[in-house]
Amino acid sequence: MNELLVDAAWLEGHRDEVVIADVRWAPTLGTQEAERLFAAGHIPGAVFFDVDRDLAGTAFTGGPGRHPLPTPEGFAQTLARAGIGDDDTVVAYDLVGGSYAARLWWMLDATGRRCALLDGGLGAWPGPLETGTAQPRPATEVAARPWSPELVADADEVREALVAGATVLDARAGDRYRGETEPFDPVAGHIPGARSAPWTENLAGGGFLRPAGELRERFETLGVHDGSAAIAYCGSGVTAAHDVLAMRIAGLGTARLYEGSWSDWVHDPARAVATGEEP
């Protein structure tokens, strides 16, 4: 298998060797509805992850933004409930080009665990679907591993990176970047100096990622080069993981994730906001 991306044919032949994770989520869906859709049809053997419940903390964690990272202990407990041990390999998928499954990939990768995305997501699965609730393997003891400060950035570090000339990428849709619309946060626009890099442009169509060479060309055009210290953000730190993954696939190293992203940036009215096209 590719350490970052697998196709449906590979997964069909290796289901017993990995844990399959269905990250079926949308900002307006709600956990109960997502679970209902999962029960109506998923890849056989898959376990279910909800972004709000399983892949984000709460205000009590002290984290920034609408989807702060859970505590290391909380994430370890979530993995244990899903039957995922420290030595397991996970293949994650969703219904929208990997934009939410990439959040689980990032969290596992950031804590030294193995995870790949299913290219094309659920739509690429050639076999019959399984119905009913998830039946995870018996829970295993999972170590609580801290989030590496080398992989996570906060607002001050984003500001310092921009002053130093680093590339900061905004993974949201272009109209949100330009400040023409903002469906979730109280202020529209983007971080001054950030470049627009919608995660959707990592896709070739049908939920499949573009070839590595095309991804490399895309991000080099945006100012990301070998050894450069890029930072990616989105609305709340979820879909920005798709840009981080795409840069890795492109061979451009590991970008940092601005954990709180735009929802954190605008929390402080003293932080500058830009609108319009590229700087």
Instruction: Tell me how far apart the alpha carbons of residues 99 and 35 are, in angstroms, rounded to a whole number.
Output: 18
Collapsing DSSP to helix, strand or coil, 51 comes out as: helix
Give the span between the Cα atoms of 103 and 243, in whole angstroms: 11
Residues 223 and 157 in one domain: yes
**CA nearest to 240, candidates 189, 213, 202:** 202
- Which residues have a catalytic role annotated? 234
Instruction: Establish if 141 belongs to a structural domain.
Output: no
Contact 191, 160 (CB under 8 A): no
Domain containing residue 190:
152-265
Q: Say which CATH number the domain at 55 has.
A: 3.40.250.10
| Six-digit token string for 255 | 């970008």
59/4 Cα distance (integer angstroms): 31
* Structural domain contains residue 100: yes
On whether both 9 and 114 belong to a single domain, the answer is yes
Both 112 and 161 in a single domain? Answer: no
Residue 137 lies inside a defined structural domain of this protein: no
Same domain for 39 and 95? Answer: yes
Looking at residue 182, its amino acid is E
Is position 270 within any domain?
Answer: no
Q: What is the pLDDT along the chain (279 residues), one digit of tens a residue?
A: 679 999 999 999 999 999 999 999 888 788 889 999 999 999 999 999 999 999 999 754 557 999 999 999 999 999 999 999 999 999 999 999 999 999 999 999 999 999 999 999 999 999 999 999 999 988 778 999 999 999 999 999 999 999 999 999 999 999 999 999 999 999 999 999 999 999 999 999 899 999 999 999 999 999 999 877 899 999 999 999 999 999 999 999 999 999 999 999 999 999 999 999 976
Question: Model's pTM, two decimal places?
Answer: 0.96
